[in-house]
Each structure stands twice: as C-alpha cells, then as structure tokens.
Amino acid sequence: MIRFLNDETVAGYRYGKGAISRFDDVTEAILIAQGDAEDYPAVTKPVEVLASSAVAASCALTATDEVLGSFTVHGGIIGVNSILQIEPVWTFSSSANNKILKVRVDGVTVYGATRTMSVKEAPLIVLANRNSLTAQIQPYDNAYVTAGSDTPATYTINFANSVTFDITGQRASNGDALKLEYYRVLHFVGD
C-alpha cells in the first residue's frame, strides 16, 4: 500500500496528493523509487462492526426476559482466533425492584446482572476464540482485574454455525423503566 506524495496518473487513473492506494509490488516499488509515493502500512487485521444500534428499545412487560436487541452472525465470519467485543448500554429506574440484564450468545448467557438502586449498566464483554471455532475464554467478568481470585469463564459456542446474539432486559415492576439504549459488537479478526 502506498500514499501519493504528488498528483499522479497511474494506468489511466488520476490520484491526488495524499491519496492511499494499493497496486502490485512492482508498480508500488517504481512509484516509491521515483519519489512519487511512499510506503504506507496497511491494516492487516481489520476490526469489523458486526451489529450496532442506538435506537432505544424499552421493556413492555414485567417478570419476562424481553429481547431488546438481537442479530445473527452467520457461520464462517468468526475465525478460530477472532475476538468479539460486545458493548451494551441499559438505563433503568433506580428503585428497590430488580432489573435483570443479560447478553446471550447462541442461548448461552455470557453476561448477566441484577440491578436495583443504580441507573445505568454499560459492561465491556470480550469473548476470544482459543484457536478453535468452538472454544472461547472471557478474560473480563465485570472489570479489569489484578490479583483476581476467580478463573475466567470459558464457553463452547460453535461459531462454525450461524449464532444469534440476544440482549435482554427484565423488570419486576410496571413502575420501573428499563431500556436498551445502545449496543455495538466488534469483531477483531484473528490469525
């Protein structure tokens, strides 16, 4: 990959100064040797947004896990060393009543919390494949940890198949609000 230092025409196409492009190795070497371009490092492991939404979804029922956000990742997208980062944000009424928050991947709960007197939950959930499409580790349970006393959670979610992600909420009382405000799921492509 190169970045042009001057306005240049290559193979009949015009590229402006500062433009970034990729050509075959010989063409890039010639443009660099002539002083028309410089080597520009390419991102070799991209980060993909698998799903995201900032459209709020509210609980309508009580005493029921309601799916507030859901999407499917098709088989073959997640690699054997890929890492997933799930970022939900719920808001809710501060009261003595329970508000139950969960993230499920292929029916497996990878995050669950019950809250009462707070008003927001915004966990960072990381799942890393362990050189396999069917073995994951969750390095963080609820916070960054030093000198921890628990071992990390592990899972056997099969990413060779299509997998559904569900972000849910449950409230105990009609008098409480519970809303999924936002979520984003990132895929860090692995080796």
- In tens, the pLDDT along 63-117 reads 999 999 999 999 989 999 999 999 999 999 999 999 999 999 999 999 999 999 9
Checking if the pLDDT of 184 tops 80, the result is: yes
Tell me: do 102 and 30 sit in the same domain.
no
Section 2-7 average pLDDT? 91
Domain of residue 71, CATH code:
2.60.120
Tell me: do 64 and 32 sit in the same domain.
no
d(CA 7, CA 56): 46
d(CA 34, CA 45): 30
Checking if the pLDDT of 46 tops 90, the result is: no
Tell me: do 114 and 149 sit in the same domain.
yes
Counting Cβ atoms within 10 Å, is residue 82 exposed (0-12), middle (13-18) or buried (19+)? buried
Tell me: do 80 and 145 sit in the same domain.
yes
Tell me: do 8 and 85 sit in the same domain.
no
Tell me: do 71 and 35 sit in the same domain.
no
Q: What is the pLDDT of residue 43?
A: 66
3-state class of 30 per DSSP? helix
More confident residue, 28 or 143: 28
Q: What is the pLDDT of residue 32?
A: 93
- In tens, the pLDDT along 105-153 reads 999 999 999 999 999 999 999 999 999 999 999 998 767 778 888 899 9
Tell me: do 83 and 122 sit in the same domain.
yes
**Residue 68 CB coordination number (10 Å):** 24
Q: Is the pTM here over 0.85, yes or no?
A: no
Query: How many distinct structural domains can be found in the chain?
Result: 2
Q: Which domain covers residue 8, as residue numbers? A: 2-39
Tell me: do 129 and 60 sit in the same domain.
yes
Residues whose CB is less than 8 angstroms from the CB of residue 126 and which lie 6 or more positions away in sequence, other chains included: 83, 84, 85, 86, 138, 139, 140
Average pLDDT, the chain: 93
Tell me: do 53 and 25 sit in the same domain.
no
Tell me: do 62 and 30 sit in the same domain.
no
